[in-house]
Amino acid sequence: MAILRKINSKAKTESNSGFGVNAADYGGRFINKNGQPNLEKQGIGYFERISWFHTMLSMPRWKFFSLIFLFFVLINLLFAIAYFAIGVEHLSGMVTHSAWEQFGEAYFFSAQTFTTVGYGRVNPTGFITSALSSFEALIGLLSFAVVTGLLYGRFSRPKAYLKFSKNAIIAPFKNGLALMMRVAPYKNTSLTDAEAKLTAGMMLEENGQRTNKFFSMELEFEKVNALTLSWTIVHPITENSPLYKFTKDDFSNGTGEILVYVKAFDDMFSNTVVARTSYTFQEIVFGVKFIPMYHKSKQENSTILDLDKLNSFVEVDITSQLSTISNAANA
């Protein structure tokens, strides 16, 4: 259901959000929870629109190593079939006689050739088999060079090891309310000069047509010098906020999304890292506050950051804050 109310005229709109304004042509959220655009590209071939280098660098670790293992098994299977088709009599040194055992010998000879191990018991004889094994050795050298480069790229690529709270919240702030979400580093990295930016994307109705509108959201602090503990990003809901006078029902029934961008400087890599996420209106919890997620150790000589409390919150009474906002709006 679209929000049909008029947004506060004092809210600052954004014209360079990078997203389309025609709501009828837009499906789902703008950015997924993992920070990737909710976008599917068509019109060209699948292999043309896929960057395999970026895909291999960004895919989960288990998928990456599973793909390497699958490639190793299949490429050796292919060469084993080729050796078997040429004739196992051209692989001297075999001590087996059944067809399956001979195929197994051909497969492991292929694996030894591919990895350039070459134990020496089985060796090729004849021009065709020798040429095929030489070609396989070349493919093996090139493959290991590619895999080594990918492993180094995955290992050395700067990454923002930041976790965002699952939900954003509407919580008491000073004499009013504020939109809040938390972010915290979860690796032993050192991030400095962290900067956050929030953009609200909403589906509105203008002149009888639904359109996407984007609004800048002012923050209590846009920058922090060091991101060592959790950082609660706070957007005060004032007269300049696009969320001014929004009720719980507006968030429950409205179509909108809060886009979150965080960048910081990783002094280990001397590079800037970026993390993104978003919260739909249905992922915003109204009338709660975050529970503190760090405390001093029992020995009182260090600080403990409980990452499992990143999304922990409790309900609070915000009746007085809503009354204050209502009185200010009617004044």
For residue 4, pLDDT over 50 is answered with: no
Give 175's pLDDT tier (boundaries 50, 70, 90).
confident
Q: Sketch the domain layout of the chain as residue ranges.
A: 23-40+160-330, 52-156
46 vs 218: CA distance, rounded Å? 40
CB-side neighbour CA atoms (13 Å) of 169: 24
Average pLDDT (159-188) is 91
CATH topology of domain 52-156: Helix Hairpins (1.10.287)
Sign of CA dihedral 46, 52, 54, 59: positive
52-156 matches 23-40+160-330 in CATH topology: no
34 vs 275: CA distance, rounded Å? 9
pTM beyond 0.75: the answer is: yes
CA angle 44, 50, 52 (to 5 degrees): 150
Q: pLDDT digit string (tens) for 5-46?
A: 556 556 666 666 666 555 455 667 778 787 777 777 777 877
In the chain, which ranges are continuous DSSP H helix? 52-58, 61-86, 99-114, 127-156, 248-253, 319-330
Longest dimension (CA), the chain: 97
Q: Within 10 Å of residue 313's Cβ, how many Cβ atoms?
A: 18
Give 3's pLDDT tier (boundaries 50, 70, 90).
very low
CATH superfamily of 23-40+160-330: G protein-activated inward rectifier potassium channel 1 (2.60.40.1400)
Q: pLDDT digit string (tens) for 63-85?
A: 999 999 999 999 999 999 999 89
Enumerate residues 6+ apart whose C-beta is below 8 A from 262: 160, 162, 183, 194, 195, 196, 197, 233, 274, 275, 276
Range with top average pLDDT, 3-7, 123-127, 201-205, 309-313: 309-313
